[in-house]
Each structure stands twice: as C-alpha cells, then as structure tokens.
Chains A and B, each alone.
Chain A
Amino acid sequence: AQSVSQHNHHVILSEAASLELGCNYSYGGTVNLFWYVQYPGQHLQLLLKYFSGDPLVKGIKGFEAEFIKSKFSFNLRKPSVQWSDTAEYFCAVNANFGNEKLTFGTGTRLTIIP
C-alpha cells in the first residue's frame, strides 16, 4: 500500500520569502501525484497534479512542484509567497492503475506573516 509523508507540520514565513514544502511517497509502481490546498474556511481544492511527462509541473497561483522519481519526492515550491497563501497544504498520491484511492499526507500548515 502507498503512503505519503509530509515532514513539515507547520511552516511560518514572511511575505516574499521562498517556499518549499516536502512530500515523499512510498510505492513501488507508477503513481499520480497531487497537491491540494485548503484555505481557512474553504473546501479542499487542487493546486497541481502530475501524471506523466515533464516532471516540473506548474499549478495555480504561481505554485510548482517537481517530481523526482529517484527520491520518491514531489516537493511544492513558490518563489515568493503572499499573505493569501496562508492555508493547509496536502500532498496526495494514487497508484497509476485500476481505480485506486487517493492517499493523503497529514498536511502542512503554512502561515504567512505580513
């Protein structure tokens, strides 16, 4: 069974700082990878996804993530964060066959200080 680790539980940054949130997964086969974001009081929404092809994927609001297969990682990055990026971020994976469920990490709470 697959698992996802997000080692940063709570990250606090000042506006304009660069962001990198770690995500590592455990699964021996091909996977689909996702980052979801949950803004305060809002529902979970997709930030970006990787299925195949270019390992550097770009999402909404200036976020990007890089899939490094050899490291089983899919870290989320943003060069300059804004106060509005304050939210909880979840990495998720599902096996690239059949109809597998999404397995989520425990989430990283990001607080941006104005």
Chain B
Amino acid sequence: KAGVTQTPRYLIKTRGQQVTLSCSPISGHRSVSWYQQTPGQGLQFLFEYFSETQRNKGNFPGRFSGRQFSNSRSEMNVSTLELGDSALYLCASSRETQGARSYNEQFFGPGTRLTVL
C-alpha cells in the first residue's frame, strides 16, 4: 500500500507570495492533519480535515488555510508568506472514523520543505 505523498518536496518562495502544498493520504484514510516542523518548536499542529470538513485547528494565523477534497486529498495554503514560515510542512493521515473512539495513529508523509527568502 502506498504511503502518504506530498508535493512538492521542496519549494522556495519570497516574502509576500503565497504557496499551496498538496497531500495525498494512504488509500482508505479519511483524516488528514497538517503540522509545521521547525528546529526550535518541534511539530506544531496546523489543522485536521475529515470528510472535507475542518475538524480541529491549531494556533496559527488566518494566513494558513486548508481544504480537503472528496477523495480525501488535502491542500494547505499560506498567503502573504513571512520569513518565519520557513519550515518543513508535514501531512499525516489516519483511518479513524467519525464518532469512533479516538485512535489517532497517524502516518506521516516526507514533508514539503518551504524556504521563504
């Protein structure tokens, strides 16, 4: 079974630009979560989508947004990029079903390395 895939793997942007990152979850997984990983902060939760609805949201400004499509693929968008947005953005998928006991075993993709100049 193929793992979580993320595109692109590397991205260089300049301040003020916007960027869209893509994530394809493992087949059958309906939940997709996004995390920002930086050396000092570790992994910070951005948001989670389930059945095309945002189910959880972390403490990031409104410049960070996302969406999920009917095939569970997800995108995240960052508008008006700042230098501090440089990070590894990780996507994770899990099989959990709505209403089931929380079983948040997440499978991570390789990430997209975003550099903002």
Shortest beta-carbon distance, A88 to chain B, in Å? 9
Residues 47-62 (chain B) with a chain A CB within 8 angstroms: 48, 50, 55-56, 58
Q: Are B102 and A44 in contact (CB under 8 A)?
A: no
Q: Are A94 and B104 in contact (CB under 8 A)?
A: yes
- A104 in the interface (beta carbon within 8 A): yes
Shortest beta-carbon distance, B14 to chain A, in Å? 27
In whole angstroms, how far apart are the Cα atoms of A13 and B55 in the complex?
41
- A98 in the interface (beta carbon within 8 A): yes
Instruction: Give the chain A neighbours of B108 by CB distance below 8 A.
Output: 36, 43-45
Q: Are A46 and B105 in contact (CB under 8 A)?
A: yes
Give chain B's interface residue range (CB within 8 Å of chain A): 20 to 34
Say yes or no: A101-B102 contact (C-beta < 8 A), given A43-B110, A44-B90, A106-B40.
no
Say yes or no: A103-B45 contact (C-beta < 8 A), given A43-B108, A43-B111.
yes
- B33 in the interface (beta carbon within 8 A): yes
Instruction: Give the chain B neighbours of A106 by CB distance below 8 A.
Output: 40-42
Q: Are B104 and A100 in contact (CB under 8 A)?
A: yes
Residues 74-114 (chain A) with a chain B CB within 8 angstroms: 90, 92, 94-107
Say yes or no: A96-B42 contact (C-beta < 8 A), given A101-B56, A101-B58.
no
Task: Please indicate which of the listed interface residues B41, B107, B108 has the most CB atoms of chain A within 10 Å of its own CB.
Answer: B108
Contact of A99 among B50, B58, B111 (CB under 8 A): B50
Spell out B's residues near A (CB within 8 Å). 3-4, 31, 33, 35, 40-45, 48, 50, 55-56, 58, 90, 92, 96, 98, 101-111
Given A96-B102, A104-B44, 17 additional A-B pairs, CB 8 A: A32-B102, A43-B108, A44-B90, A46-B105, A46-B106, A94-B102, A94-B104, A97-B101, A99-B50, A101-B58, A101-B104, A102-B45, A102-B104, A103-B45, A105-B42, A106-B41, A107-B43
Spell out A's residues near B (CB within 8 Å). 32, 34, 36, 42-46, 49, 51, 90, 92, 94-107
